[in-house]
Structure 1
Amino acid sequence: MNRYSLNQATTKYWPLEDVVAASAKAELSWIGLWREPIQEYGVEKAAQLVKDAGLQVSSLCRGGFFTATDPAERKAKIEDNRRAIDESAALGTDTLVLVSGGLPPGSRDLEGARSMVRDGLAELAPYAEERGVRLAIEPLHPMFCSDRCVVSSLGGALDLAEQFPVQQVGVIVDAYHLWWDADVYRQIERAGARICSYQVSDWTVPLPADTLLGRGMMGDGAIELRRLREACDAAGYTGPVEVEIFNQELWDAPGQEVFDLALARYQEHVA
């Protein structure tokens, strides 16, 4: 259980103080954080809260969204990512999760969008390294390619990451987004030291109308979560395993109830 980390997105409406207190009471070591609620709470204040509870931040979500054709918009996105890097450093995490961004409005140029992601990484990677932060590319399921993430496979994420030193750019292995890929185990082996995080939830059917909220609790779906975890271990990853679930029913449930269920399901299906 020293690897378990509850990403606060799993209990979206539960106050940060409660998530931190529950994690400390359960004698956990890690917690995953999201930028928007942390900015609202106060970055320095949040960093102190986590530190006082004896926890470490496994990752900060999220930066990225590099795909913009307007120069002013693109510049603004780069500056926002610099702020995200600074926030990561202030929170004491070495992992900033990046979601690349989808196609720019009206565009069908997928290769061009992926080039924008590469250019964004090139501009930010040295800045991140100076602050002890690694940019972690998260490939998303192909259904999000057009509007959210033009990086749709672990192989594609590694093709980008490998253009940079390993201490600057890595990848996220998110079970929900990658379980379907027949090549995923070979790509996990290839990833090796570039794995920054293994994130878990489950794929349930039918998906809701809002597919972004389709993640299920571990054990409720089709994913071989332990097998994927073991593959990451075999590739050399020994870091935190984050439970990150976007699910309206779970968000609407009492935070402690979801916390307890996630912990139990992690032990049963992942550890």
Structure 2
Amino acid sequence: MSAPSADLSRCSLNTATVKHASLTEAVEAAAAAGMGGVGLWRHQVQEHGAETARKIVEDAGLHVTSLCRGGFLTASTDEGVRDAIAENTRAFEEAAGVGTREVVFVVGGLPGSSPEAPPSPGTDRDVVATRARVADRLADLAPIAAQHDVRIVLEPLHPMFAADRAVVSTLGQALDLAAPFDPSTVGVVVDTYHVWWDPALQDSIARAGREGRIAGYQVCDWNLPFATTALNSRGHVGDGYIDFATVSSWVRDAGYTGDVETEIFNEGIWAAPPVETARTVAERYAEHVAPHL
């Protein structure tokens, strides 16, 4: 199977898509497929150190398109607040070290929640107060991000993850949270898996473009039936229900000219050889996304 002939300079492999590959294996797979970049996860950067991780990417002729992930801003205790500020400061340092400005933030769920689990005793169910704490932490962290010349990139997650992963569910909510801050310091990412369903999506993407806040475009498909873990129900572009032509054209019309990351959580895809997965990512990008950008 040969690599697609389309321009892949904006195509990026988020390394979560090849979860079981080493950093070097993931980077080599992306380069072999003809992509321009990779999105990194913090555990990989920490494993190698930022300087070495950056060198691995650059030696392959690629660049780092984003760093995943910061956030988790919903703690209600003084200790939790201090920990969140300290951990996100480390994320900013790592992003600067690997050469990306974009730090993707998942804001966190209700305090006391655990992923895919029932509420523990004492879980705070006040979602309004929890969202208010997200705004407070952004006010704490935005100046620190600016000091490191990086950007907080808010990622709204599908509402089914509101309890345990992100109390911010729509692009409009993310933009409202970003509004008090300079667009170079707080932006948003459009992740098709999480926002494709939103009836206000076209208007929200247009607003994000007007405000200069689109810091990333992530693509993968919405597959049914769900996997045992809903988070792992993402699929290759073109295998599910998302209209990539329309969403990509909205992103284009909003003025976005940056990288397009494919980020997939899927046990079956993780089990495939990384080179095969990267080649499929490139082919699907060339077929379903690139013509509409």
TM-score, structure 2 as length reference: 0.90
Asked if 1 retains the 8 angstrom alpha-carbon contact of 2:13 and 2:35, the reply is no
User: For residues 228 and 254 of structure 2, what CA distance do their matches in structure 1 show?
Assistant: 36
User: For residues 82 and 25 of structure 1, what CA distance do their matches in structure 2 show?
Assistant: 34
Residue ranges of structure 1 left out of the alignment (5+ in a row):
none
In structure 2, what residue type is equivalent to 1:131?
H
Q: Does 1:253 align with 2:262?
A: no
In structure 2, what residue type is equivalent to 1:112?
A
Q: Does 1:114 align with 2:115?
A: no
Higher RCO by CA contacts (8 Å cutoff, separation 6 or greater)? 2
After superposition, residues 146-165 of structure 1 pair within 5 angstroms as 146-165=163-182
CA drift at 1:252: 1.1
- Say which of 4, 12, 20 aligns to 1:5: 12
Q: Identity percentage over the alignment?
A: 49
After superposition, residues 138-149 of structure 1 pair within 5 angstroms as 138-149=155-166
Which residue is 1:185 aligned to? 202
In structure 1, what residue type is equivalent to 2:181?
F
Q: Does 1:206 align with 2:237?
A: no
User: For residues 7 and 167 of structure 1, what CA distance do their matches in structure 2 show?
Assistant: 22
User: For residues 218 and 80 of structure 1, what CA distance do their matches in structure 2 show?
Assistant: 33
Judged with a 3 Å threshold, the aligned counterparts in structure 2 of structure 1 residues 258 and 26 are, in CA distance, closer, same or farther, namely closer
Aligned residues, how many? 271
**Which whole-Å deviations, capped at 9, do the CAs of 1:154-184 have from their partners, x for residues lacking one?**
0000010111111110001000000001110
Asked if 1 retains the 8 angstrom alpha-carbon contact of 2:193 and 2:219, the reply is yes
- Say which of 185, 194, 218 aligns to 2:213: 194
Asked if 1 retains the 8 angstrom alpha-carbon contact of 2:219 and 2:237, the reply is yes
Q: Secondary structure at the match of 2:225?
A: coil
Q: Does 1:80 align with 2:87?
A: yes
Q: Secondary structure at the match of 1:221?
A: coil
In structure 2, what residue type is equivalent to 1:57?
V
CA drift at 1:230: 1.4
Asked if 1 retains the 8 angstrom alpha-carbon contact of 2:156 and 2:168, the reply is yes
In structure 1, what residue type is equivalent to 2:223?
T
Asked if 1 retains the 8 angstrom alpha-carbon contact of 2:30 and 2:275, the reply is no
Greater mean alpha carbon deviation, residues 20-29 or residues 1-10: 20-29
**Which whole-Å deviations, capped at 9, do the CAs of 1:115-139 have from their partners, x for residues lacking one?**
1111111111111112210100000
Q: What's the RMSD between the two structures over aligned residues?
A: 1.0
Deviant stretches of 4+, over 4 Å? none
Greater mean alpha carbon deviation, residues 50-59 or residues 174-183: 50-59
In structure 1, what residue type is equivalent to 2:32?
K
Greater mean alpha carbon deviation, residues 225-234 or residues 15-24: 15-24
User: For residues 24 and 204 of structure 1, what CA distance do their matches in structure 2 show?
Assistant: 27
After superposition, residues 39-118 of structure 1 pair within 5 angstroms as 39-105=46-112, 106-118=123-135
User: For residues 275 and 153 of structure 2, what CA distance do their matches in structure 1 show?
Assistant: 29
Which residue is 1:127 aligned to? 144
